[in-house]
Structure 1
Amino acid sequence: MNEIEILLNRRWVLKSEDKELYYKVRDAVGELRKYSTDKLGCQIIDNSTLVKMEKIPVVPEPFMGIIQFSSKEEYVFLCILLMFLEDRDAQEQFILSQFTEYAASIMPGEITDWTVYTNRRRLIRVLRFAVEQGLISVTDGTDELFMDDAGGEVLYENTGASKYFMRNFPKDIMGYTSPDDFRESEWFDVDEDRGFARRHRVYKRLLFAPAMYREDGSDEDFEYLKNYRGRLIEDLEQMFECHVHIHRGSAYLLSGEDCRMGTVFPGNNSISDILLICFGEIRKKIEQKEWKISQDEMCVVDRIAFEALIKNVKKDFGAGFSKMYRDMPEGEFVENVIGEMERWMFIKMENETHQIKICPLTGKIQGSYPSDFIGGRDNEQ
């Protein structure tokens, strides 16, 4: 794995966790910064603590959240933790009750009622994430004590990395009034028509997400793809072991065998196999003209019809699934499959109209069982 892939794969490289890798990446920072600034418009931070590429997406997607979190309250606790650590030196220790008291003073009310088990569980999930990311480390004790009782204590140590966790904003965010302000802040005082701004958007959209769809951003981005197609493909395929596919309304960066940039689909897991079978069934619906494709390469179907297709997949091919998915209740199975499809940008939910938009990425890959598969429909799949 080359150094640019390392920075794209990780939040950061901490010296305290992997000194050899830290020096390997830091030694290459000069060339990395040149490429990152020119192509992506991403800042690289390097100091005695860490090396980090600030990866700010152009289009925020559902999968870009913290997968360990399942509630908005956990994001609140994370922000409070970052505020708490801001006033502490690196290697300074603190006990859990110091933080819970601080959190209650910042955000008084039900959210910080530590007698409530749900609040304690959410806080522990945040603290475990912070330990995993290298923001803090456990010096003594176990968080299971606090999970069982609000009086449980753990001794933590601040690593000093927390001050680099959040991005640097070009303006005072206290004046922001909506999520769109954060999305647009990167381009304040910048003429978006200028070539470098478009280049940054296109490279980011290709590298930071499974797919780039025309409808999600500026039409100028696809004009850039049209005008600089050859140069962009050559540049990306030389830098990474990948293939770039550009279509009328979508574009993709497909990883090669030796590419180690991010998580790939399909993974070596059962849910990927299930999705591949679903994509094959979706393709049949489209080829048989039951489901229509629009000019933007999208296919919009009623959610009930889409769920029925997934239920039929479980019914017809479930014998080949892992035990967990074979035994999973039908409703839960459908929600799991739809959630995974949305996470990988194969579909988009149209909740207001109770429809599902099937994206063209779905047509790029599919799977099937051997013709002699016993559980297959009419023994043909």
Structure 2
Amino acid sequence: MVEDSEQEELRRAAQILLENRWISRREMPDEYLLIRRNEKTLRQFFREKCGWPLLVTAHFYKLEKIPANPWPFMGITAMQSIEDYVLLACVMAFLEEYESGGQFLLGDLAEAMLAYYPEDALTPRLNWESYNWRKSLIRVLNFLAEEGIINIVDDESTGFVNQGFDADGVIAGEALYEVTNLASYFLRSFPRELSDYDSWGDLLEADYVTDASEEARSLRHHRNRIYRELLLKPVFYRQEEYEADFSYLCNRRGRLEDIIQDWFGLHLELYQNGVMAVSHEQSTWFNDVFPVHFRGIHDIILHLSHYFRELSPEQVKQPMTIIQWQGHLEQLSKSTKTGWTKEYREMSLKRLSERLLEETTAWGMVKVDEDGLIIVQSALFRHEGVYPTGYTGEKEKKKAKSGDGE
């Protein structure tokens, strides 16, 4: 039986692997050594429970956190468009030509991108005369620098962003970059060439460990998908196509809860149509939690939950158009807007509806179906918020102003 101190160390190491893309020996030496001491146990746990490999080099650890099903919130925040993602893939292909420590110029990269960019991409053709394309490339490079995949040695790329190339093909602002030892490990590796896969579903299944018997394979897949859902998503909903996964979870709930608690300090909350792994601690190890007291949009979501609780069940269950969604938010703002942060008090209804839809979708509180209709989901009602009795907004503002002058 693992001693409490040993389990606490394992828990801390597992949390570090979940919350970071890389655990660099240079940047995170204490965390690196912690994982190194527990490497064998961590590798076995994540491979067995999640089907995730733990990548190990002399310079870093990386847990390949592959989702059971991708959600929009799992994208890269720095990427603002499809074009950004396509350019990112092209830049990574370009970097394959370089070893760690190799250097390249922005001008050479930009020229190479014209050849790397796919002819059949579902985006406008790459063109460096476009300010948006130039900005996109620099955005990608800055992201790679932040991730430690490249180092910026010398940077005058502002000239490139503003002017591009002159009539003689000379870049207006040059930059020098250096490739690091992380570059070869940023993109996922697949067992076979990508061209060998026929569908998106084949890619999702590609990384699961294959067992000798069909029964063992099925059980492993259920287990891996459940752990991936619980650890990477805010809520796992019961769906017809994953009914077997939900049954697996219900049948093994006690054991799953013990493991989730021991390894991550989380508690399972099982409902009729979904399950969540939640933290009961006010101070938690998650980088992103709900609700965050200093994030104004979360306050609005708490009010939104209370607002929908006050409606009839038929109204809440009914899919709504974006116009109906905006109508609800307009009604909500009339009664709660005085307490919102300045950013959201002054925001247009259209922009507010977009931001709320984006945030609630990321947290699994609403979803948009294939027809574009918005459906409220049960996770929205996990929390709710109301103002204290007698709160008027104006009264509170006056108190704050008076306090500032004391």
Normalising by the residue count of structure 2, what TM-score does the alignment of the two structures yield? 0.85
Is 1:181 matched with 2:202?
yes
CA distance in 2, matches of 1:65, 1:322: 27
Superposed CA deviations along residues 265-309 of structure 1, whole A, max 9, x for unmatched, are 112310111111111111111xx344255xxxxx63444333211
Match of 2:249 among 225, 229, 232: 225
Amino acid at match of 1:281: Y
Is 1:281 matched with 2:316?
no
How many angstroms does 1:375 deviate by?
Answer: 4.5
Q: Is the 8 A contact 1:212 1:252 kept in 2?
A: yes
Partner of 1:122: 136
Task: Decide whether aligned partners of structure 1 residues 126 and 8 sit closer, same or farther in structure 2, where only a CA change above 3 A counts.
Answer: same
The DSSP-based 3-state class of the residue aligned with 1:260 is: coil
Superposed CA deviations along residues 288-331 of structure 1, whole A, max 9, x for unmatched, are 344255xxxxx634443332111211222111111111111111
Is 1:369 matched with 2:361?
no
CA distance in 1, matches of 2:118, 2:251: 55
Q: Structure 2: which 5+ residue stretches go unaligned?
A: 1-10, 165-170, 395-406
The DSSP-based 3-state class of the residue aligned with 2:390 is: coil
Q: Is the 8 A contact 2:325 2:353 kept in 1?
A: no
How many angstroms does 1:59 deviate by?
Answer: 1.3
CA distance in 1, matches of 2:247, 2:288: 28
Q: Is the 8 A contact 1:311 1:334 kept in 2?
A: no
Is 1:269 matched with 2:301?
no
Q: Is the 8 A contact 1:11 1:52 kept in 2?
A: yes
Superposed CA deviations along residues 108-159 of structure 1, whole A, max 9, x for unmatched, are 7864321210001111111111011111011112432322222211111100
Partner of 1:203: 227
CA distance in 1, matches of 2:218, 2:154: 54
How many angstroms does 1:216 deviate by?
Answer: 7.2
Aligned pair count reads 368
How many angstroms does 1:210 deviate by?
Answer: 0.4
Alignment of 1:74-113 (within 5 A): 74-107=84-117, 111-113=125-127
RMSD of equivalent CA atoms: 2.1
Q: Is the 8 A contact 1:271 1:337 kept in 2?
A: yes
Is 1:305 matched with 2:347?
no
Greater Rg by CA: 2
Q: Is the 8 A contact 1:8 1:261 kept in 2?
A: no
Match of 1:139 among 150, 153, 157: 153
Q: Is the 8 A contact 2:316 2:376 kept in 1?
A: no
CA distance in 1, matches of 2:12, 2:241: 30
Amino acid at match of 2:344: Y
Alignment of 1:309-328 (within 5 A): 309-328=328-347
Is 1:164 matched with 2:185?
yes
Match of 2:262 among 238, 253, 268: 238
Amino acid at match of 2:255: R
How many angstroms does 1:340 deviate by?
Answer: 1.0
Q: Is the 8 A contact 1:291 1:301 kept in 2?
A: no
The DSSP-based 3-state class of the residue aligned with 2:305 is: helix
Q: Is the 8 A contact 2:151 2:179 kept in 1?
A: yes
Amino acid at match of 1:122: S
The DSSP-based 3-state class of the residue aligned with 1:291 is: helix
Match of 1:358 among 367, 376, 392: 376
Q: Is the 8 A contact 2:326 2:350 kept in 1?
A: no
How many angstroms does 1:58 deviate by?
Answer: 0.5
Identity %: 30
Partner of 1:63: 73
Task: Decide whether aligned partners of structure 1 residues 52 and 187 sit closer, same or farther in structure 2, where only a CA change above 3 A counts.
Answer: closer
Task: Decide whether aligned partners of structure 1 residues 60 and 158 sit closer, same or farther in structure 2, where only a CA change above 3 A counts.
Answer: same
CA distance in 1, matches of 2:40, 2:21: 19
CA distance in 2, matches of 1:66, 1:101: 25
CA distance in 2, matches of 1:168, 1:53: 13
CA distance in 1, matches of 2:356, 2:278: 22
Normalising by the residue count of structure 1, what TM-score does the alignment of the two structures yield? 0.90
